[in-house]
Structure 1
Amino acid sequence: MQAADIVTLLVNSLTWAMATFLVAAGLTLVFGTLHILNFSHGGFFMIGAYAAYSIADALGGSGSMAVYLFGSLAAGVLVALLGLVVDRLVLRRLAGVEDAYVLIATYALLLVCEGSTKLLWGLNYHSVMPPAVLDGAWIAGNAVLPKLSLFIVAAGVVVFVGLEYFLNRTGPGRLVKAIAADPWMARLLGVNVRLVYTATVALGFALAGLAGGLLVSNQTLSPTLASAFVIQAFGVIIIGGMGSISGAFLGAILLGVIDAFGQWVLPGLPGLPFFVAMTLILLLRPQGLMGKAKH
């Protein structure tokens, strides 16, 4: 393998990793706080992507970086508002319910998202061109570095740093972590736990919508988009350690690199390296890379 091939594989693996982390970030944030595994998260990511597509189309296309970023942020706000509705109607009712029923309920919600997408946007495939500034690639020696891929990598890093700073260096973030660890004690101290839960859900859903907007140019839009990404996102948060933002980030990078190099070695078996790596990591460390073992 030439050096240029290695660089290309690394860029591809990091692009996959950061795209998956962008989807997984909101999922693991909600789980870490509410301890609810929201299977419908991929559906709201898909709605965010379609919303960003519609906004870009209404504003004359995605050639402008300003339209692209505005569409992504607007998609995040829209999905955050949907998250408030979902929290009120669904998630609050799942508190204290067995995990099997939670998965069934949120999977049903995923089906609602897919059905709504088909109803609003139809069954046709859609594609969105990246902004002109992100179109094309940089050439480094013999290596080709797509600008959109590098942007996605940068966006994933920014979201990770922002979440880590929020959770560990700000008062509201520390409050979220404290409530996640011991909501009963937080209530005794006079904290409005329900309000913090609602705000966390809104932020988690906003991250799903933002991810949809940022990744709208990175894949073809179809009603099956949710299922494809939610499996990858679940894999990342399980490997990283349930509820750990840093674990999801590290898990995404590790699985991305393994999957990319595995596909180079076994090009006829796409996806196999991903699942093999997941299995081996969980056998060696069942609690995940950054998870805590149960005693």
Structure 2
Amino acid sequence: MIISLQVKFAAMDIPDDFLKMMEEKTGCKIVKGFSDDADIVVFAGKPEPGKKTVFMQSISAGVNHLDFRNIDKKIVICSNADAWSIPVAEHAMALILAKYKNICESNTAIRNGTYNRKLSESIYGQTIGIMGYGGIGREVAIRAKAFGMHTIGFGRTEKKDPALDVFSMESEYVAKNSDVILISLPLNKHTRGMIDYKFLSSVKGNIIVNVGRSEIVNMDDMIKFLEENKNKWFLTDVWWGEPEIKGEIPENVIITPHVAGLARNFMQVPVEKAFENVVAYIHGNPGNIVNRNDYI
């Protein structure tokens, strides 16, 4: 069998010795780039299946960028859900702490010559509502509990987890009972634009964090909401139309350039997990099989 490795991100440089090890583990020949003879495609970015391709494994967790209508239905597609959860969860907590502890504001003030010891707030005893209780949501809940926060989880199917105080399938309940809202939902036809003005208007707390995809949030509704509520903050690792950022970013936004998962000393872990699932496919039991109906 032949594996076509299609990685289109410069930040993800996969060394040859690692690929040799993966060849031994999978029993397949690995070819960098497109191969029309590839039985399996392992990819980051937009992949090109070959004529013989029967299985495609994403290195990234999300697969919303794939053109499912133009990928043969016979091809099994798997995401890499949970593989990036730890650094993304760390980034989410960093954003929350940066706001609660006035990190960005204090840094800017001191650099501009103002030494103002403004009181911060503690996240201890605060409630975080996690919209999307998958791998990222679970890792955030674990870290939030370590800081003494209360946790509420939200998803389409009920989950019981020691890191959760409450699980709800009602988004309004989460909005009305959380000091911090975390968005870690996957982007699909069910979640696109889910965080709209109605949801935002029911949010009890002052902080909304997005480490999912920008399109989960309705852009016009969020901008309007932030302009009307200067005390509410949007902390986000993603932005609409990125990497080209158009229009003014409201002052009550803290933004990073879609780097939550890009930890230098962690990059090999998701690649290893992707190849582990290739081995699982070869043995007839792959995980994270994508339901095309969620995207078409």
When Rg is computed on C-alpha atoms for both structures, the one with the higher figure is: 2
> Which TM class, normalised by the smaller chain length?
under 0.3
Q: Which has the higher strand share?
A: 2
TM-score, L = length of structure 2 = 0.23
TM-score, L = length of structure 1 = 0.23
Q: Which has the higher helix share?
A: 1
